Amino acid sequence: MIPMRVMMEMKLPSRIRKKGKWFISSCDALDVHSQGRTRAQAEKNLADALATFLIDCHEHGTLDQVLRESGFVAISGPPTKRSRLVRKSSHVAVPVPFEVRAPRSRAVAV
């Protein structure tokens, strides 16, 4: 099977503030921070830092634990009109690339 590339996008709460000549960007929910000389650069750098962090957690098998410890919980169904996820705070879109490969064959004990 040829590997297939898929892209997931997470929208995570963020804030950007100016400090001197720099813009400081933060995702306090995951304790990830970055900076840039412009607001746009600070946001891009934060998205890159978050993507790297999430991929690293996945590769080390700790993503579920990190998300749980940060207060993330799984919900079922689409967001409702009452959802506060995006409306009440700024957010940063974080593209997280994955490659789907053929599953490893699993021996079945009989």
Residue 89 burial (CB count, 10 A): 12
Tell me whether residue 104 is in a domain: no
Question: 48 lies in a domain?
Answer: yes
Mean pLDDT of all residues in the chain? 87
Does 108 fall in a domain? no
Structural domains counted in the chain: 1
Q: 38 near 23, Cβ under 8 Å?
A: yes
pTM: 0.78
Residue 102 lies in a domain: no
In a domain, 91, yes or no: yes
pLDDT 10s digits, 60-109: 999 999 999 999 988 887 767 666 554 556 899 998 888 887 666 655 56
Tell whether 110 is covered by a domain. Answer: no
In a domain, residue 64? The reply is yes
Q: Do the Cβ atoms of 100 and 6 come closer than 8 Å? A: yes
Name the residue range of residue 91's domain.
9-33+40-73+87-96
